[in-house]
Amino acid sequence: MTSPVAIPFWLFVILAILAAIAIVDRIFAPGVRWYFRRRVNDAIDELNARLDLRIQPFKLAHREGLVDQLLYDHTVIDAVEAEHEATGTPRSVLMKEVTAYAREIVPTFSPLAYFGFGTKAARWLSEFVYRVRLGYTDDAALRSIPPEAAVVFVMNHRSNMDYVLVTYMASTRASLSYAVGEWARIWLLQSLFRSMGAYFIRRKSNNTLYRRVLAAYVRKATDEGVTQAVFPEGGLSRDGKLGGAKLGLLSYMVGGFNPATDRDIVFIPVGINYDRVLEDRILTAKSEKERTGREFTVSLATVAGFLAHLVKLRFQGRLYRYGHACVSFGRPVSLKAFAERNRLDFSKVPPPVKAKNGKAQPPGAIEKLGNALLEEIGAVIPVLPVALVATVMLELESEAIGELELKSRVFNLITELEADGAHLHIPRHDRDYTLTTGIRMLTLRHVIIRTEDGLYHANPQETLLLQYYANSIAHLRKPAAKAARRAAGKPAIRTCGKS
């Protein structure tokens, strides 16, 4: 038993390596995993202590576990069975398809990626491009949201910068889980979005199985209290106007809602506006071509050159940031209170109602909720200098006007909007400076032209862009919108921070 055994040296080396691996795996690895897990949990506890809206355990769950939950969700199983009976496709094939959809949708949230990198990068990028300001916010109402409620930020969609800007502005309150479209499904970029809690959606997919999996995830995340951020308009506004509600994601969130047993869902309206939208010419390109025949094309090289030029100007100290970007947070809307006030039942939400025989059908519960949220969003969209000047110049059409008369007309518009309760951003609390910045932004881009004798007139070739910016506040001037704001008793003016 104690006699030496001779083995080849190469075999001894292999056995030694295997023994070392076993020791590390069975003795040291558990301790290391425990240490780092404890550090992560301590960090999450610290984050939850300073955030207004806590990070829910569902968001921190292992991704494979969330995928499994979706695969065995009863609505998904029912959809697979229905598809099998309708097409004869084997259940195993359908389940593989469902698994692929679930892996595509479910995020991999990392607090380190979100708060260690994401929010800092969002702040740097936002302040590099814009003068970022917080507009109207009802802090008392936001603090009164019950801790157990599921919170959903609902926003108008002006630019792809919306994701970055709102992530930065809400970073002291919550970690947001965005619904992101196909545009972000790019190698490496999609991994970054997933690590920050975003889930991917195919906006135009009519595949029943896919829709069932997406609905199951959104509803489960809402049930578990995950803080989400969605754009009820569905996509970017191409004309600058506040669009109509797309009810898909909204119906997934509130479908089957029972006020007696389910946690409340609180919607926070968010209004976003910019003095310059980075992709404004891309968004208006189709309309521009239809109206004038001019075609605007963009390539990766064009975008790279544009960004490089910005960086160069910034380091040379010659970069005019693209005006102001302002975000306002409206009064929270409780789904329980909304349902009770309007006597609506969300426990059985039907599909969106379509017009029949040319006649509009009465809106259902989900349509009423979507319309109400859009009204709340529209009411808190900030009024910025460029939108004010664009509105007046558009009304003047081709008429030339002096600077003093232009400012006088804009002052009249400000007075009108103030009287109707709109939320204005007045840089430095100085109206004259506000108009100077608006005029300068549009003049630098040749959207309005200053003649040699000091008169201003709209550039006939840039009418569409002028309309785009004027449209951002057009809904605030409609009689119905005015009456609604007056009835709600909203204050006359809200100004945003410093310039």
The domain defined by 51-274+322-351+361-380 folds into Glycerol-3-phosphate (1)-acyltransferase (3.40.1130)
Residue with more model confidence, 41 or 147 = 147
Contact of 338 with 269, CB cutoff 8 Å = no
Token duo for residue 294: 């001019």
The structural architecture, per CATH, of the domain 385-488 is Orthogonal Bundle (1.10)
Over range 479-489, report the average pLDDT.
48
How far, in Å, are 246, 300, 415 from residue 182 at the CA level?
17, 17, 43
pLDDT of residue 54: 79
The tens digit of pLDDT for each residue in 167-224 reads: 999 988 888 998 888 777 776 677 888 888 888 888 878 888 999 999 999 999 999 9
Confidence of residue 44 (pLDDT cuts 50, 70, 90): low
d(CA 144, CA 249): 26
CB of 158 closer than 8 Å to CB of 120: no
Between the alpha carbon of residue 99 and those of residues 73, 74, 108, 285, 455, the distances in Å are 12, 15, 16, 39, 64
Main-chain dihedrals φ then ψ at residue 137, nearest 5 degrees = -155, 135
Q: Give the pLDDT mean for 302-318.
A: 74
Q: Is 35 or 356 the better-scoring residue by pLDDT?
A: 35
Residue pair 383/417 in contact by the 8 Å Cβ criterion = yes
The pLDDT tens digits of the residues spanning 336-380 come to 999 999 998 888 765 544 444 444 445 688 999 999 999 999 999
Tokens of 490: 């909203």
In the predicted structure, residue 327 carries a pLDDT above the cut 90: yes
**Cα distances (angstroms) measured from residue 97 to each of 65, 72, 88, 104, 301:** 18, 14, 15, 11, 37
pLDDT at 492 over 90: no
pLDDT band with cut points at 50, 70 and 90 for residue 27 = confident
Amino acid residing at 249:
L
Q: Could you give the 3-state DSSP secondary structure of residue 277?
A: coil
Strand order in the sheet with 401-402: 401-402, 455-458, 448-450
Please tell me the predicted confidence (pLDDT) of residue 338. Answer: 95
Distance of CA 180 to the CA centre of its chain: 8
HSE-CB for 388 with a 13 A CA cutoff? 33
Determine the pLDDT at residue 34: 62
What are the tens digits of pLDDT across the range 58-79?
888 888 889 999 998 999 999 9
Q: Which residues pair with 229 in a beta bridge?
A: 153, 178
Among 320, 264, 341, 357, CA closest to 442: 320
Query: For the ranges 4-8, 183-187, 427-431, which has the lowest average pLDDT?
Result: 183-187
Query: CA 402 from chain center: how many Å?
Result: 40
Model pLDDT, residue 363: 61
Q: How far is CA 443 from the centre of its chain?
A: 30
